[in-house]
Amino acid sequence: MSEQELRGVPAAPGVALGVAWLLTPAVAGARRVDPPLRDAECERALAALDAAAQALTELATRLPATEGEIVEAGALMAGDPALAEAVRRAVLEDGLAAGPALVSATGEFADAIAAVGDELLAARADDVRSLGRRAAALASGDGQPRRPAADCVVIAAELGPADVAELAPAPAGFALAGGGPTAHAAIVARSLGIPMVTGLGEAVHSVLAGTSVILDGAAGTLTVEPDRKLAESATLSMRARVQAARRARELRETPAVTVDERRVGVLANVATPQELWLALEAGAEGIGLLRTELAFLDARAWPSEQEHARLVERVLSGLGARPAVVRVLDFGADKSPPFLNGTPLRGLELLLSHPDAFADQLRALVACAEHHDVRILLPMVDRADQVEEARRLIDEVRGGAPMPPVGAMIETPSAVLGAAEIARSADFLSVGTNDLTSSVLRADRFNGGVGQAHHPAVLKAIATAVQAARTGGVAIEVCGEAASDPVMLPLLVGLGVDELSVGAARVGEIRERIRALHAGEAEELAQRALESSTPEQVEASVATPSARRP
């Protein structure tokens, strides 16, 4: 086979050069059983399903909080009476052996979930299929997963989160025929720092084991039998990534200060202890955004105070005296657990409409603040009175404990218009550029809408928020994807943002870029960008030599 490029969907960034390792689990033994043997075969199938659930539960205890919650959700699905009944029918009525019956029943169960059309339920459908494959392997006597060779690229039809966790850290990357970037397997891969491409289609199954491949998790491509030039380029990219991580560790005590001595704080967006560890190794000054909702996307009810406390303590235990900006549950839109499916509300508005559930999380955060530098962040704020209402609720639940700092996220045009009043009600502001960009440009970020944060309209909204923070005497950070965008970075520094919060894997890179910037020149650049008419003009300005210093 000559060089061939397969295109899929980016799911976890990074470049991986290795040989293809095919994950094609087979179900051993006969496919059908005679009627007299079916009762015993049914019991064997159900026992394998139970054993698979126990294995997932045990694996979940060895993983960080968010990944553990995701994997454990697969174990809970094994206890669904409807799934058990589907397995019984497959054996007793259809005559299938235990292994094929488990694959068939979980496949039908998963298809029914996916047919609902909800993106989050589709992710759970992948988890059910993974559970079926695991149970089938146990029923056929193959309880131990095959181990890939080091530095290979795993090629599979689909993977569940437990599959990724068990195969790691050996693989250099994952190439999947199905799946998607929001699937639980992709979430675990991103957390573990392993590149992944999903949605490559049936063509990926034509790749032969041992074939040289290059996986580009950012571009969403799998190149089969790359030529020498491309292989050398991939090798350089992988080496550069390793060297950048090493350089970041060596410079983690060196502050992010521009050449004209303006300091910019660099913190990390995290959801797990592992992400925090990676960020601190690269010099992160704390947590700029702790996403608490990700651990509860499979919850069947509002989390309890104890569940909130356990989640936050798991992550903050490795933080030391550094600050942690903890965002309260940002449920709604693409992040709705089953019990909230269909709700039109999101973020702070949703929480204020459920004050008892909101109070449980606030009590947990206030308690954590007694041992850590916790700062509470309110998502999707529209008006200052919402901040005041949240502060009153915090005041009610804190008892005699100190009041933690309370921040407000600026993510909507309404919040931008009321930014001055919001700043007077909050202790700090945080700009969520993902939602702000889509709302200002009216692009649906959840349905393929495209928006550029360096669009002049978005930059003007950010500039308004910065001015409101300055007038109100409070700090302002940016915690969206734009904080680590090469085009946006000098613009944000030039607009006067105090702190940037970025993904754990980008901390070292952003700190290094800040040390190469000249803040005075960045201010001039930002002013030109605000006067521009199109994002293309802004890009051209940033690309000029005067925009940065080497």
Per-residue pLDDT of the chain (550 residues; tens, 9 = 90+): 568 899 998 888 889 998 888 886 544 445 788 888 889 889 988 988 888 888 778 767 766 555 666 677 777 777 788 888 889 988 998 888 888 888 888 888 877 776 655 555 566 777 787 788 778 877 876 544 456 777 899 998 888 777 787 787 778 899 999 887 767 678 778 767 789 999 999 888 888 888 899 999 888 999 999 988 988 888 888 887 777 777 777 777 788 899 999 999 999 988 778 778 888 988 999 999 998 987 787 788 999 999 999 989 988 988 989 999 999 999 987 678 888 888 889 999 999 999 999 999 999 999 999 999 999 999 999 999 999 999 999 999 999 899 999 999 999 999 999 999 999 999 999 999 988 998 999 865 444 444 689 999 999 999 999 999 999 999 999 998 789 888 999 999 999 999 999 888 788 889 999 999 999 999 999 999 999 999 999 999 898 755 444 4
Same-domain status, 175 and 260: no
Q: Can you give the pLDDT at residue 548?
A: 45
pLDDT of residue 75: 74
Look at residue 22 and tell me if it is in a domain: no
Do 292 and 379 fall into the same domain? yes
Looking at the fold, whether 106 and 223 belong to one and the same domain comes out as no
Same domain (yes/no): 215, 339? no
Residue 365 placed within a domain = yes
Residue 30 lies in a domain: no
Token duo for residue 504: 């754990």
Q: Do 302 and 235 lie in a common domain? A: no
pTM: 0.69
Positions annotated as catalytic residues are: 184, 479
Q: How many domains does the chain have?
A: 3
**pLDDT for res 86:** 87
Same domain as 350, residue 224: no
- In this prediction, residue 431 carries a pLDDT of 97
Look up the domain containing 457 and give its range. Answer: 251-547
Q: What is the CATH number of the domain that holds 237?
A: 3.50.30.10
Return the beta strands (E) in 172-271 as ranges: 173-176, 196-198, 212-216, 221-224, 265-270
263 domain residue, yes or no: yes
Distances (CA, A) of 50 to 126, 168, 217, 289, 362: 18, 24, 35, 38, 37
Which CATH number is 329's domain given? 3.20.20.60
Closest to 435 in 3D by CA, of 419, 416, 422 = 416
Looking at the fold, whether 232 and 293 belong to one and the same domain comes out as no
C-alpha distances out from residue 171 to 62, 188, 434, Å? 19, 13, 31
**Looking at this protein, which amino acid is placed at residue 297?**
L
Examine residue 403 and state whether it is found in any structural domain, yes or no.
yes
